[in-house]
Structure 1
Amino acid sequence: MQSSASLLQRQKQSMIASPQLIESIRLLQLAHTELHQYVGQEIAKNPLLELAPSEEGPSGDDWSIPGEDPDIGVREKDFDKPTSGEAPERFMQSKSTGNTANAPPGAGNAVDNFSVSAETLHDHVARQIALTAFTSPERLIAGQLAAHLEDTGYLNVSLVELASSLNVRADDVERVLGILQHFDPPGLFAQTLSECLEIQLRQRDRFDPAMAALVGNLEMLARRDFQALKQHCGVDEEDLLDMLHEIRALDPKPGNQFHTGRPECVMPDVWVMPSPGGGWQIELDPNTLPKLLINHTYFAEVSRAAVQNSKDQAFLNECLQNANWLIRSLDQRANTILKVATEIVRQQEAFLEHGVSHLKPLNLRTVADAINVHESTVSRVTSNKYMLTPRGVFELKYFFTVAIASCEGGDAHSAEAVRHRIKAIIAGESLADVLSDDDIAVRLKETGIDVARRTVTKYREAMNIPSSVQRRREKRLWLDGDQGSAA
């Protein structure tokens, strides 16, 4: 068979993602902080875009936004029942979330403006160094040691290298370090956890040979190997119990009690509030939504000046087109987040009313089919987005869990609810009834949850709960200690 060349014409359809479509998709997965940064960059590039005023917007026809809404702000949607506009304020005040959306302008920063900055660890140490009778060389060494102090209170430097860099003897550095280790709070300037605990015990005059053996074998304590600890320390169970109580009372990171920076807080993107007439009200947090306006007056003035220059006119038209696209994309992003959040609340209403034990199994496809979008859209929307509920702040992805089959053929159980049930079963154990993973699996089957023993083991280890052997040993140890204290 001979091959021959020929010309063929075929017609086919394909979808090509435009740059604007790619940007719209990227906007969906941006957190609100990243979104505000992106909008700020667009405002810097586009002279027609400006942020809307925080108070009432300007009147007249100078400002306009494409679409039906006057700005990209809060969209309200009721789930089952209508509610009044005062619900968000009542809810936020009752939950004490610290959100100042309903506060007067400038009220949110009033405390910050007048509050005194907290003392840091390094300030605290520097003040003690200044009050200590050091010689000039010793004060230099102390200052260098303090400069290498971590926020946790540990010293992160080699004493030999520090002595070499300062051209002093290593014995002098160790002597100054011994003085600094008596500073407040106890445990500062240690290089290891064992040394940190030793410093605190020495200041309490409790560092005897038995305690030294315990501090020197912390890995056994982490493994809960109490039999080996009793042998190494040369004590009985009662004395070991007292020693463990003393260890637990120590601070493994003494520097953490000082201010090391402004704490980070999570700002929810969605509010879920109970409606007075029943049901739930879902709203977007206005603080997470940038509000943009297009200045048509400026566009008209510049267009008249650039009417004779085709390049300038083309640039203005492009800016107007990009501004319209960005505002529509932000509006679509807000609507999509609200739709996804509304469907999550509809699916997880039992969780909002009764707690984590009633969390239903849910996947992306269920929500996507309900609101008629693709699964990838739901995945992007739920990334780095948070929901404020009467039960706390949760990431939207928290509500998506795998299903655990039911023994009775009823509704399946979510993995998170099963983990909560396992934790509750273990919390209710007694010394005479410490359950193995097989026993817990049987208990779960009695309540209608069909789960294998290996699944129980996996969930238990993920929650950092020790095995039944370790739990029984700990309960016996603590029980003997309580009886000895009572006697």
Structure 2
Amino acid sequence: MALSPRLEFRQTQSLTLTPQLMQSIRLLQLSHLELNDFVEAELLRNPLLEREDGGEPGETAEAPEPPTELSAYEDTVTRSERIQDADSIADNYDTAVENVFPDQPAQDRLLPQSRVDGDGALGNGEAPDLDQYVADRPLLSDHLMQQANLLLKTQGDRLIARYLVDGLNEAGYLAVELEAVADQLGADLADVEAVLQALQGCDPVGVFARSVPECLAIQLRERDRLDPMMARLLEHLDLLASHDLSMLMRRVGCDREDLADMLAELRTLDPKPGRAFDSAPVEAVVPDVFVRQGPDGGWQVELNTEVLPRVLVNRVYYASVTRKTRDTAEKSFLSDCLATANWLTKSLDQRAQTMIKVAAEIVRQQDGFLAHGIAHLKPMTLRNVAEIIDMHESTVSRVTTNKYMATPRGLFEMKYFFTTAIAASDGGDQHSAEAVRHRIRQLIEAESATAILSDDTIAEVLKKEQGIDVARRTVAKYREAMNIPSSVIRRRQKKALQHVG
């Protein structure tokens, strides 16, 4: 068969994601904070976009008053009368600035063109930036190095201190080996240990410890409470964790009253002293959707419009600029800006409609949870919701990611309502895994010291009371996920609470 070039035509169908479609999909999974940052960047880049001020439709903003025209002489006189900084005043009195303003000479030099009025505003008409007066939280490393520079006299010891400070974790524990520090710096191990002993007296007390017992021992030594009995107690904290108090008292050599006093002393200590310098900001969770009970007994679902960005397309500005320009590149730029602005407004509207549609279906299926509590939480998957609202499963997943719903039962992440199903023993309705976990916690919290429930017993109770067909391994897995100890440890804990408390 001879090979020869030829032309062929083929007709195929394929799904191609345009850049704007991919961006619209990305907007679905953004939280309201990330969405506001994205819109803010678009507002800076696109001159045809403007933020909606929230006024009523049809309202027009009042025309600004024209600025008052001043002559050059009047403006110069007014400014010369208003601007009086520390340097000019000191020159008038023929003295130094420190004699006129002994407390704030540097501040006056920094702000020579502004003054503070009686109401706290600057003389140039701008309000003061309060963020400039907020005290910055010091870092743990900076706080410790300030103390180390005072405690240590030689540069070599301070270099060792810097390496030890860099080796601290967030809790304030030393996460590096002293031998490794000595080898890396070429120093004697005795010198590194001496520096470490000096640093263990820094504030907050307990830093530079290498274990929990050492951290507690440093704090007790600072209080002059580290007696031999307390030291033996710190050596056997593993028995305290397992609540084997009988063995613990024999190892320590104390009675129940002494043990209760020492445990009360330990509760006043901080096992993680470095947490006080945690620089991570605390952010409050703001709901994206509100669910309220309506007057007819149903549920009303609405978006939190306070956190959603609202933008408008300034078509008047586009028309006026387009009429005046003749450059092809400028017209192309304006056309791209108009298309992007139209896309953004439509995408934000579609995102809001999709969120309210998904949230309404979640509320419809979880009506029992909203009315009666977590015990009535139904099993629900992303596919169930997607099939009912005629959307793709991935779309529902993106809409519910990093989104929160405020309900009469509290504030929940929208992913919280999607749980796996556990079959019923009698073939009835399936049970939600979250509801099963809640029931397991209730059974464990209600047990007494003389009637501790094992995992097998809990599985039998669930099957007998509610017809939940769950295996012992599943009960153990749910219990461990909730950080609930085993029945042996719980028995020791409850007995200990009876004798020591």
Q: Residue 276 and residue 177 in structure 1: after superposition, are their counterparts in 2 closer, same or farther (change >3 A)?
A: farther
Q: What's the counterpart of residue 39 of structure 1?
A: 39
Which position in structure 2 is the counterpart of 1:23?
Answer: 23
- The partner residue of 1:256 within 275, 283, 287 is 275
Q: Is 1:233 aligned to residue 252 of structure 2?
A: yes
Instruction: Describe the SS at the equivalent of 2:379.
Output: coil
Amino acid aligned to 1:24 = S
- Structure 2 CA distance, aligned partners of 1:22 and 1:298? 29
The 1-side partners of 2:193 and 2:7 are apart by 87
Counterpart selection for 2:478 from 440, 445, 459? 459
Q: Is the 8 A contact 2:173 2:211 kept in 1?
A: yes
Local SS of the residue matching 1:388: strand
**Structure 2 CA distance for partners of 1:379 and 1:127, relative to 1, 3 Å:** closer
Contact 1:151–1:260 (8 Å) recurs in 2: no
Contact in 2 for aligned 1:141/1:173 (Cα 8 Å): no
Deviation at 1:229, TM superposition (A): 4.3
Structure 2: where are the runs of 5+ without partners?
62-127
Against the structure 1 CA distance between its residues 47 and 111, is the aligned structure 2 distance closer, same or farther, given a 3 Å change threshold?
closer
**1:478 paired to 2:494:** no
Q: CA deviation at 1:364?
A: 1.1
Out of 427, 448, 462, which is 1:409 matched to? Answer: 427
Which residue of structure 2 lines up, in the alignment, with residue 48 of structure 1? 48
Residues in 2 aligned to 1:168 and 1:11: alpha-carbon distance in whole angstroms: 75
Structure 1 residue 295 and structure 2 residue 314: aligned?
yes
Count of matched residue pairs = 432
Where does residue 450 of structure 1 map in the other structure?
469
What is the letter of the counterpart of residue 331 of structure 2?
Answer: Q
Distance in 1 (alpha carbons) for counterparts of 2:393 and 2:152: 69
CA–CA distance in 2 between the matches of 1:213 and 1:294?
73
In 2: Cα distance, 1:291 partner to 1:197 partner = 54
Q: Deviations over 1:236-295 (max 9, x none)?
A: 666555544443442101243457453122222112223355332222122331111111
| 8 Å contact kept, 1:142–1:176 | no
Is residue 120–residue 259 contact of structure 1 (8 Å, CA) maintained in 2?
A: no
- 1:319 is matched with 337
Separation (CA, whole Å) in 1 of partners of 2:136 and 2:3:
84
The answer (yes or no) to whether the contact 1:357–1:421 under 8 Å persists in 2 is yes
- SS of 2:485's partner is coil
Q: Distance in 2 between matches of 1:144 and 1:159?
A: 11
- TM norm structure 2: 0.72
Q: Which residue of 2 aligns with 1:13?
A: 13
The two structures, once aligned, show a CA RMSD in angstroms of 4.2
Please report how far the alpha carbon of residue 50 of structure 1 lies from its aligned counterpart in structure 2 after TM superposition: 2.1
CA separation in 2, counterparts of 1:211 and 1:367? 59
- From 250, 265, 284, give the equivalent of 2:284: 265
Q: Is the radius of gyration larger for structure 1 or structure 2?
A: 2
**Aligned partners of 1:57 and 1:354: how far apart in 2?**
41
Is the Cα contact below 8 Å between 2:379 and 2:433 reproduced in 1? yes
Q: Write the distance in 2 (CA, Å) between the matches of 1:418 and 1:277.
A: 31
Higher relative contact order (CA 8 A, sep 6+): 1
1:212 corresponds, among 231, 234, 243, to 231
| SS of residue matched to 1:50 | strand
Amino acid at match of 2:37: Q
Question: What amino acid sits opposite 1:44 in the alignment?
Answer: L
What is the distance in 1 between the residues matched to 2:291 and 2:328? Answer: 51
Shift of 1:395: 1.1
Q: State the secondary structure of the residue aligned to 2:391.
A: coil
The residue number in structure 1 matching 2:418 is 400
Taking the aligned partners of 1:180 and 1:474, their CA distance within structure 2 comes to 37
Separation (CA, whole Å) in 1 of partners of 2:239 and 2:252? 12
Once the two structures are aligned, what percentage of the paired residues are identical? Answer: 51
Q: Which runs of 5+ in 1 are unaligned?
A: 62-109, 483-487
Quick one: structure 1 residues 394 and 3, their matched pair in 2 at CA, closer, same or farther if it must change by over 3 Å?
farther
Query: 1:67 is matched with which residue?
Result: none
SS across alignment from 2:306? helix
Cα drift, residue 409 of structure 1: 3.5
Tell me if structure 1 keeps the 8 A contact 2:161–2:195.
no
> Scaled by the length of structure 1, what TM-score is found?
0.74
Match for residue 104 of structure 1?
A: none
For the pair 1:423 / 2:441, whether they are aligned, the reply is yes
